[in-house]
């Protein structure tokens, strides 16, 4: 059965950074509801128009909208290789809907991995974040700079962008939403016997290695 991995953690924990690396290391598909929603906002779809203000304010988009875009993405054939869910589920309703969606196709969650961090460090991580405008590779002003300043390591692009919701005030609201609505899912997956916890305060490469060990152990 293809693996279904969930990365749990507050804004800035490194879910996107590590999901992209796991995609490279293991050929799994990263499914980021944040990326899917930002694409819908850019495209001006009805879901994007409804989500835009909520995202800008650091709140959670409705389960109805998020589930609709996730189901569309999960209907595409590449997900048969196995998936890493990044930023989903975020509410108990989304977690129950995921269980049902997987059960309908004879699948189940392989592991939910909680990236454990100190909230205080997350504002700094998010304020320094930027991505390549061409390929989406993620960087940080201090912690992950391109090898050549101003040039993307991956594609050679020279334009970078920052997210509209990456400011200190919105990050605090996103952290509040995380603790109120998403952190309880850690106990939910612990009760199911699929929870793994890793310390995600260390260097990016070390966390990549820890995650790789967990996935290799699951696959063995």
As annotated, the active-site residues are: 15, 90, 129, 162, 174
Q: Which residues pair with 196 in a beta bridge?
A: 113
Among residue numbers 118 through 157, which ones bind ligand AP5 (CB under 6 A)? 125-126, 128-129, 138-140, 143-144
Rg of the Cα atoms in the chain: 17
Total chain residues near ligand AP5 (CB under 6 A)? 36
CB of 11 to ligand AP5, least distance (A): 3
For residue 181, give the DSSP letter: I
Dihedral sign computed on CA atoms, order 52, 184, 105, 78: positive
Among residue numbers 59 through 118, which ones bind ligand AP5 (CB under 6 A)? 59-61, 66, 87-88, 90, 94
| Residue from the set 3, 5, 9, 69 that interacts with ligand AP5 by CB under 6 A | 9
Question: Contact, 109 vs 192, CB < 8 A?
Answer: yes
Question: Contact, 162 vs 139, CB < 8 A?
Answer: no
What the block records as the tokens of 79 is 């997900």
Minimum CB distance to ligand AP5 smaller for 145 or for 192: 145
Specify the 3-state DSSP secondary structure of 118. Answer: coil
Minimum CB distance to ligand AP5 smaller for 149 or for 220: 149
Which region, left, alpha or beta, applies to residue 217 given φ > 0 means left and ψ of -120 to 50 means alpha?
alpha
Is 30 among the residues that bind ligand AP5 (CB under 6 A)?
Answer: no
* Residues of the shown chain interacting with ligand AP5 in the complex, contacts defined by CB under 6 A: 9, 11-17, 33-34, 37, 54-55, 58-61, 66, 87-88, 90, 94, 125-126, 128-129, 138-140, 143-144, 174, 200, 203-204, 207
């Amino acid at each position: 059965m293809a693996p279904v991995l969930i990365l749990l953690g507050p804004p800035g924990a490194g879910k996107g950074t590590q999901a992209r690396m796991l995609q490279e290391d293991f050929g799994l598909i990263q499914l980021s509801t944040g990326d899917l929603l930002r694409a819908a906002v850019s495209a001006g779809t009805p879901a994007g128009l409804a989500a835009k203000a909520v995202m800008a304010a650091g709140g959670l988009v409705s389960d109805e909208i998020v589930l609709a875009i996730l189901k569309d993405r999960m209907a595409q054939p590449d997900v048969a290789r196995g998936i890493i869910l990044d930023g989903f589920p975020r509410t108990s309703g989304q977690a129950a809907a995921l269980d049902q969606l997987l059960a309908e196709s004879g699948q189940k969650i392989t592991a939910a991995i909680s990236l454990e961090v100190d909230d205080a460090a997350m504002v700094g991580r998010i304020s320094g974040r930027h991505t390549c405008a061409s390929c989406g590779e993620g960087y940080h002003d201090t912690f992950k700079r391109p090898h050549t300043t101003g040039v993307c390591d991956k594609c050679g692009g020279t334009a970078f962008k920052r997210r509209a919701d990456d400011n200190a005030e919105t990050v605090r609201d996103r952290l509040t939403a995380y603790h109120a609505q998403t952190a309880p899912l850690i106990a939910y997956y612990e009760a199911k016997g699929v929870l793994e916890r890793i310390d995600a305060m260390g260097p990016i490469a070390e966390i990549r290695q820890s995650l790789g060990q967990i996935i290799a152990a699951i696959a063995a």
